[in-house]
């Protein structure tokens, strides 16, 4: 193998050329990088200029101009309460002592008079902390804080910081530093529910801002960092440290002499005032219901808009009617009501659907669940008018007669149907059967029209089709469904409007902070029943008041119609009634500590629909309708044809045959006394359906055993394959 020839040594020319190549390459790279930097600067300046020019100063947000969204009764002047109270009173910068202005600058932005509205170093420091996982920082000047409070929101997004940056630059060019500081001091939050420095001076020192000294100004400036935590009444040590920081900063900036600094420190403050909670008492239920409606798709406000928008909200609640509801509960029910005893009172204007009164409980702060709109209770015989309407639509006349015997075998029922206390009637027409809430007659009537038709009538009148235990089985006529009280009131308001359904609502109108109308409620005006059917149904329900189980309501002194209802075991008791101008419902029920349904007891007697509920209803309606003209119902037209043999006598023949377990003398009855009285009887009347639940989705009792209840059968219907099951039979 030949030996490898050594490489020739490079010539001088080649060596020089090789040395020049790296230098040329380096210069080209430097030139290329320089070009990129230049291009970046051009693009950066251009982009900055474009972003600046495209940034418009928006209209101020509502937080600065109208912080309180106020809720009024229907008169538009009487306040119910408000949402997200913003306690603020604006002042001019001249009213704020210079030493107080300097204290705020020392705490928040010592370069305020020199910067251009933003602090690049502060922003860089905040960005670094945020991206590196450090604490969230704003890096904000007073101008930026003012922009955030006045024009933007408090959300922590880079988009908001971008908008804040360019808006701050523009604001700094558009107005003077004094104007910016004035607006900032009038909008910033100081704690103690005080927005703006004037209300803060009152909240902390009980004086106007113009009377503040250096120490007091330093404290107000100090709490801006953490208004709640730095209140000296909560943490005097932390407040002292922050006040010292502010005062020392004033000295270093030449705004406070060393002598004045030595005489300054943490000042004394007044005791924080305890603002009354707008949700306390019964008004909390009104505000909560209104708020839910405002946030619903019907009105369409957002939480942020409602809490910051300064809206003027006029409701459908009538101040007189609301006071009447509260007074009726207080005056007609014993004071020593047991724990868990719930009262629901609601009233609806039939012509509009507006809720005129709502008693959802004694104190929203103690129980925030609204008895009217959230709880449910088996309806008992308040459901029977739906079967009556179904019968009238099928051509069955009010003059039709049925046997009122008890017990009775009825098609679809597995065991005999019984009237309350096994009371038997002779052959009676539908007017008498309605007045006395005769179970056996209504069981026959429901079999004739079909339970599905009765259920559909209930939904057309106002029951949601999702109502708990709403079913199309034969027992539904006795009120096995457990609606919310407001649903019953809705249905009876449809009756009062003679078949025109106007869906219930509580918001009449909404105006924004500028006074512009943004929402106006309007009736739905949906006719769901004919006037002729309603005239006859109303006449039948008038008999309940004139001669039947709701006879106490004659004390109202004007035409009224309605129906009592009591659930199995006396776990709920109702009276639902109406005049041409107003429909109202009273429901009483008992919830145990474990949420179970309990027998309602007041005093020594049973609570039934014909006892306390009708008394509360009458007292409420008397006061709510005071001064309004008396209106008459339409006369009956007696639709359809009569069925059955004529009644044996003009009045029902009654014989009370006690059941083995129920004596005639001890059993409660929904039938009123011979003449109405002003005070409850020692033993309230009627019996019951299964009871209300503490949750609208909780199921009612589903026992298959028969139950003895007034207006309810003592049997369970035979369940057809296509029928939903009914819970234990309710009553009157």
Beta carbons within 10 angstroms of residue 61's beta carbon: 21
213 and 220 Cβ atoms separated by less than 8 Å: no
Assign 580 to helix, strand or coil. coil
Instruction: Kindly report the three-state secondary structure assignment for every residue of 89-101.
Output: CCCCHHHCCHHHH
Contacts with 663 (C-beta within 8 Å, 6 or more apart), sequence order: none
Are 361 and 671 in contact by the 8 Å Cβ rule? The answer is no
Contact 579, 560 (CB under 8 A): yes
Residue 343 phi, psi (nearest 5): -125, 130
Beta partners for residue 71, in sequence order: 81, 313
Which token pair is 99?
């030493």
Vertex 694: Cα angle to 372 and 624 (nearest 5): 20
Q: What is the DSSP annotation of 98-165?
A: HHHHHHHHHHH-TTTTTS-S--HHHHHHHHHHHHTT--------HHHHHHHHHTS-----HHHHHHHH
Alpha carbons 368 and 288: distance in angstroms, whole number: 9
Q: Which DSSP state fits 271?
A: P
Greatest CA span in the chain, whole angstroms?
A: 145
Q: How does DSSP assign 29-67, residue by residue?
A: HHHHHHHHHHHHHHHHHHHHHHHHHH----PPPHHHH--
In contact, 52 and 174? CB cutoff 8 Å = no
User: In terms of DSSP bridges, do strands 312-315 and 507-511 run parallel, antiparallel, or are they unpaired?
Assistant: antiparallel
Q: Is 381 a catalytic residue?
A: yes
Q: What is the DSSP string of 413-472?
A: BSS-B--GGGEEE-EEEHHHHHHTT-HHHHHHHHHHH-HHHHHHHHHHHT--TT-BT---
Cα dihedral sign for 151, 154, 159, 162? positive
Phi, psi values for residue 48, rounded to 5°? -60, -45
Q: Which of 264, 346, 381, 611 is catalytic?
A: 381
Q: Please give the angle made by the CA atoms of 31, 33 and 38, to the nearest 5 degrees.
A: 90
Q: Which residues contact 536 (CB under 8 A, 6 or more apart)?
A: 392, 398, 636, 637, 638, 639
Q: Collect all residues with Cβ–Cβ distance below 8 Å to 327 and sequence separation of at least 6.
A: 619, 623
Is 108 known to be catalytic?
yes
Alpha-carbon distance of 369 to 373, in angstroms, equals: 8
Among residues 74, 108, 164, 437, the one annotated as catalytic is: 108
Answer positive or negative: Cα dihedral of 622, 628, 632, 634. Answer: negative
Query: Torsion angle, CA of 134/136/140/142, rounded to 10 degrees?
Result: -130
- If we measure between CA atoms, which residue out of 702, 668, 664 comes closest to residue 683? 668
Q: How far apart are CA 281 and CA 277, in angstroms?
A: 9
- Report which of 220, 372, 454, 288 is spatially closest to residue 692, judged by C-alpha positions: 372
Catalytic sites, residue numbers: 108, 381
């Amino acid at each position: 193998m030949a030996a490898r020839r050594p490489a020739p040594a490079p010539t001088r020319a080649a060596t020089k050329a090789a040395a020049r190549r790296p230098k040329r390459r380096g210069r080209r790279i430097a030139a290329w990088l320089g070009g990129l930097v230049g291009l970046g600067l051009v693009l950066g300046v251009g982009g900055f200029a474009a972003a600046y020019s495209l940034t418009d100063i928006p209209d101020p947000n509502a937080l600065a101009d109208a912080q309180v969204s106020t809720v009024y009764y229907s008169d538009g002047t009487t306040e119910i309460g408000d949402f997200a109270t913003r306690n603020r009173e604006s002042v001019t910068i001249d009213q704020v002592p210079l030493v107080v202005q300097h204290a705020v600058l020392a705490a928040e932005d010592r370069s305020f008079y020199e910067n251009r509205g933003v602090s690049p170093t502060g922003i860089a420091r905040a960005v670094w902390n945020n991206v590196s996982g450090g604490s969230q920082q704003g890096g904000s000047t007073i101008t930026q804080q003012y922009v955030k409070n006045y024009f933007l929101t408090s959300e922590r997004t880079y988009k908001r910081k971008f908008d804040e940056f360019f808006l701050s630059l523009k604001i700094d060019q558009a107005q003077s530093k004094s104007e910016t500081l004035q607006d900032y001091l009038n909008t910033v939050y100081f704690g103690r529910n005080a927005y703006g420095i004037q209300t803060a001076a009152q909240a902390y020192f009980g004086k106007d801002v113009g009377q503040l000294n250096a120490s007091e100004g330093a404290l107000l400036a100090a709490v801006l960092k953490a208004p709640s935590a730095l209140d000296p009444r909560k943490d005097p040590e932390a407040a002292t440290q922050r006040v010292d920081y502010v005062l020392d900063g004033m000295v270093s900036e030449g705004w406070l002499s060393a002598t004045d600094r030595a005489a300054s420190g943490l000042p004394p403050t007044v005791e924080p005032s305890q603002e009354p909670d707008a949700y306390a008492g019964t008004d909390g239920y009104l505000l909560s219901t209104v708020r839910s409606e405002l946030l619903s798709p019907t009105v369409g406000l957002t939480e942020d808009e409602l809490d910051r928008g300064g809206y003027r909200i006029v409701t459908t609640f009538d101040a007189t009617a609301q006071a009447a509801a509260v007074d009726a509960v207080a005056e007609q029910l014993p004071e020593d009501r047991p724990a868990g005893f719930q009262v629901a009172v609601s009233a609806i204007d039939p012509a509009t659907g507006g809720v005129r009164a709502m008693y959802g409980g004694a104190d929203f702060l103690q129980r925030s669940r609204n008895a009217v709109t959230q709880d449910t209770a088996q309806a008992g015989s308040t459901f029977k008018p739906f079967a009556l309407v179904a019968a009238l639509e099928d051509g069955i006349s009010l003059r039709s007669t049925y046997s009122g015997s008890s017990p009775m075998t009825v098609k679809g029922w597995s065991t005999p149907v019984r009237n309350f206390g096994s009371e038997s009637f002779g052959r009676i027409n539908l007017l008498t059967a309605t007045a006395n809430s005769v179970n056996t007659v209504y069981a026959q009537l429901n079999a004739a029209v079909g339970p599905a038709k009765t259920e559909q009538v209930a939904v057309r009148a106002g029951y949601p089709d999702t109502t708990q235990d709403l079913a199309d089985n034969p027992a539904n006529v006795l009120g096995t469904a457990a609606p919310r009280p407001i649903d019953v009131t809705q249905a009876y308001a449809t009756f009062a409007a003679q078949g025109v359904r106007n869906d219930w609502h509580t918001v009449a109108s909404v105006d924004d902070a500028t006074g512009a109308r943004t929402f106006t409620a309007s009736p739905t005006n949906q006719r769901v029943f004919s006037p002729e059917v309603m005239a006859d149904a109303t006449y039948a329900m008038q008999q309940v008041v004139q001669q039947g189980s709701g006879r106490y309501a004659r004390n109202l002194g004007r035409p009224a119609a309605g129906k009592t209802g009591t659930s199995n075991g006396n776990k709920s008791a109702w009276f639902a009634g109406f005049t041409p101008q107003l429909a109202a419902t009273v429901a009483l029920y008992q919830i145990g500590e474990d949420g179970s349904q309990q027998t309602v007891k007041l005093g020594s007697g049973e609570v039934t629909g014909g006892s306390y509920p009708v008394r509360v209803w009458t007292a409420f309606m008397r006061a709510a309708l005071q001064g309004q003209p008396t209106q008459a119902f339409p006369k009956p037209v007696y639709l359809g044809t009569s069925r059955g043999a004529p009644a044996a006598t003009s009045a029902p023949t009654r014989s009370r045959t006690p059941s083995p377990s129920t004596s005639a003398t001890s059993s409660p009855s929904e039938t009123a006394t011979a003449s109405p009285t002003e005070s409850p009887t020692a033993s309230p009347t009627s019996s019951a359906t299964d009871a209300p639940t503490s949750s609208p989705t909780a199921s009612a009792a589903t026992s298959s055993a028969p139950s003895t209840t007034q207006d309810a059968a003592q049997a369970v219907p035979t369940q057809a394959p296509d029928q939903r099951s009914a819970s234990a039979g309710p009553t009157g």
